[in-house]
Chains A and B, each alone.
Chain A
Amino acid sequence: MIKVEGLSKHYGQRIAINDLTFHADKGEIVGFLGPNGAGKTTTMRILTGYMPATTGSVNIAGFDIFKESLEARRHIGYLPENVPLYEDMKVWQYLDYLGDLRSVPNRGERVEAVMGLVGMTDRAESFISSLSKGMRQRVGLAQAILHQPKVLILDEPTVGLDPIQKRDVLELIRELGKDCTVLFSTHILSEAQAICNRLLIINNGQIVAEDSPEKLQRRMTGGERVKVSVAGDADGLMQLFKGLSWLDGIRSVSGNSFELDLPGGGKDMRPAIARLVVENGYELLELRSMDLNLEQIYLQLIRSDAEAGAH
C-alpha cells in the first residue's frame, strides 16, 4: 500500500531525511517512531504529496505520488501535525465541506457515521473554535477517515492529549487499522508498541531499526545481558570479570551484584560465568538473563546512532 524507496529531502544545506526505504502493507499499522526533529513530519509531507522529495520514489495504493499525484491523493487520509481546522465552522459543516471536496458518496450519512466513530455526534452543532484539544484531535481524525481511504497517515495524533484521550485515540486507530493501512508517527514508544504490527525507528533522518515490537526486542537483546549476584563479600569479583576479554560490558549495580553484557553469536556463556564465580570461592545467589525493554532499546538505538554520527 505504501512503498518508499531511497527517499531523501534536503532543505537547502540541511538534510532532513536521508535515503529512507520502507513499506507498509495492506492491513498493517506501522509506527513511525523517532525523537523530535528526526524527520517524521517531512517524510509524511512527502508521502501525502504536499512536498516534493529531493530524490527517491513513493508509491501509494499503486500510484506514484509525484507522477500520478491526484490519483494517489484520492486514497490518502492525512492528519497533519498541527490539526488544521476551520475555526468558523461547526463540526458537521467542516466534515461536510471536506467530504464535498473529496466527492464522498452519501455525504450526509457518512458525516454522521464518522462523527459517531470519533464520538463527536453530540457536538455536531458546536463551533470548532469552542472545542477542547482532545475534541479537535478527534475532528481531525474524522476528517482523515471521511472518504474511507486505503492509506491513513497520522502525524503525532496523540500529542497533547491526556492519558484517557490518548488511550481512546489509540483504540480508534487500532479499529481503523482493520480496514486500511496506517502509518502513524509518535515519539512515545509505548504508544507505538501498544497498537503497531511493525515499528520504524527513525533518527536524524535515517531508519535505524525496523521490525515488529517483539522481534525488535529479541534482536536487540541478541547480545544478552545477565545479572550476577553473590552472597556476602564480593571483593575482587570485579577484577575477575575484567579479566574476561570477551565481555562487552560490566557494570556494578550494588556491592555484590553486577550486570554483564555478553556477546551475541549463539553460544550461551552463562555456564562459563557460573563456573568462574564458583571456582573462585564466591557463593552464587543469582544468574539471570535480563530482557531489555523496548524503551531501553529505543534509547540505545538513538544514542548509538548519535555517537556514530559524531565520529
Chain B
Amino acid sequence: MRNMWIIARREYGHYFISPIAYAVAFLLFLIVGIIFGLIKTQAPNAPADLQGELGSAMTIFLFMTPALTMRLLADEQRSGTMELLLTGPIRAWEIVVGKWLGAWLFTWTLLLFLAFVYGSVLTAYGNPDYGVLTTSFIGLGMVLGALLALGIIGSAVTSNLVGAMIIGLTINLFLWMFGFAMEAVAGWFSTIDWVQKFSQYMNFTSHLENFQSGVFASIDFAFYVSIIAVSLYLTTRLVESRRWR
C-alpha cells in the first residue's frame, strides 16, 4: 500500500516535466475554452452550466489519455527498471495501481483547474447550480479513471511507446463504439426489458450524462469502478506474466 503511494507520487511529479502532458493540458484548455466561448456567445441566455464543455472534454480525453498512459509501464520495461522494481520488496499490483493513481491524480489536477476557472466565470456572470457542477466534474473524473486504466493495458502489452498508445486508443474507441452498438441493439429489441437495461449499463457515455444532469447514482459509479478494477487486474497479470517468459 505504501509503495503504491510512493510510485503514484513519482508518476504524478513526472507529468510536470513531461512535454506530452503539457501538450495534453494545453489542448484540453484550448478546446474547452473555445467551446465555452462559442456556446456562451451564440446563446447569451444559455443556462449557467458546463454541459457542452464537459461533454467535449470527455471526447478529448478519449483520444488523449493513451498519450498519458503509454510510457507508464512501457518505459520501465524498456529501460530494465522493471527488473529492479520486481526484484525489490514490491508487488506487481502496487506498481500498476500506483502508476494509474499518479496519472489519475494528474488529470484530477487538470479538472480542478477547469472547475476553478469556469466555476468562477459562471459565478461572476450567472447563477450556476453548484451541485450539478460538482457531480459533472466527479463524473468526468470517473470517466478519466476508466480511460486511464484502459490505456495502461496497452503500456503493459508492449514496451514500444507508439504501440502502447495505439493499443490504448483502440481499446478506448472500441468501448465507446460498443455503447453506440448497444443502443442500436436496444432499438431492435425494444420490447425485451433486460436487453434495455444491459445496453444502458454498457453505455460508456450515458453514465456520464447521468452525472452531468446532477444524478448521483451508485450504478454509474459501479460502471466506471468495474472498468477500472478489471483493467488494473488484467494489467497486473500482464506485468507478472512478462517475467514468466
Contacts and interface: CB of A to CB of B under 8 A. Distances in A.
Given A86-B79, A88-B17, A103-B2, A98 B244 contact: no
Nearest to A83: B80
Interface stretch (A47-55, A218-226, A232-240): A47-55
Interface string A18-59: 000000000000000000000000000100111110000000
Contacts of A80: 80, 83-84, 87
A306 to B, nearest CB: 28
Contact of A84 (B3, B17, B80, B243): B80
A50 B83 contact: yes
Given A97-B10, A101-B6, A103-B2, A48 B81 contact: no
A73 interface: yes
A82 interface: yes
A48 B80 contact: no
A45 B87 CA distance: 9
A102 B80 contact: no
B41 to A, nearest CB: 43
A13 to B, nearest CB: 14
Nearest to B90: A101
B88 A98 contact: yes
Given A51-B243, A84-B79, A102 B6 contact: no
B89 interface: yes
A211 interface: no
Given A51-B243, A73-B89, A100-B6, A88 B84 contact: no
Contacts of B87: 48-50, 73, 76, 78, 80
B89 A86 contact: no
A50 B83 CA distance: 7
A186 interface: no
A85 interface: yes
B1 to A, nearest CB: 12
Contacts of B90: 101
Interface in A62-107: 70, 73-74, 76, 78, 80, 82-88, 97-98, 100-103
B89 A102 contact: yes
B12 to A, nearest CB: 13
Contact of A52 (B2, B79, B83, B244): B244
B15 to A, nearest CB: 12
Chain B CB within 10 A, most for which of A51, A52, A70:
A51
In which size bucket is the chain A interface? 20 to 34
B244 to A, nearest CB: 6
Interface in A131-169: 143
A134 B7 CA distance: 28
Contacts of A83: 80
B121 interface: no
B82 to A, nearest CB: 8
Nearest to B95: A101
Contact of B88 (A45, A85, A88, A101): A101
Contacts of A49: 86-87
A9 to B, nearest CB: 11
A79 B232 CA distance: 29
Contacts of A52: 243-244
B59 to A, nearest CB: 31
Contacts of B237: none
Contact of B244 (A51, A70, A86): A51
Nearest to B75: A86
14 contacts: A50-B87, A51-B244, A52-B243, A52-B244, A70-B89, A74-B89, A78-B87, A80-B83, A85-B81, A87-B79, A97-B6, A97-B10, A101-B89, A103-B2
Interface of B: 2-3, 6-7, 10, 14, 17, 79-91, 243-244
Given A52-B244, A80-B80, 7 more contacts: A73-B88, A82-B80, A85-B81, A101-B85, A101-B89, A101-B90, A103-B89
Nearest 4 Cβ contacts at the A-B interface: A84-B80, A48-B87, A84-B81, A74-B89
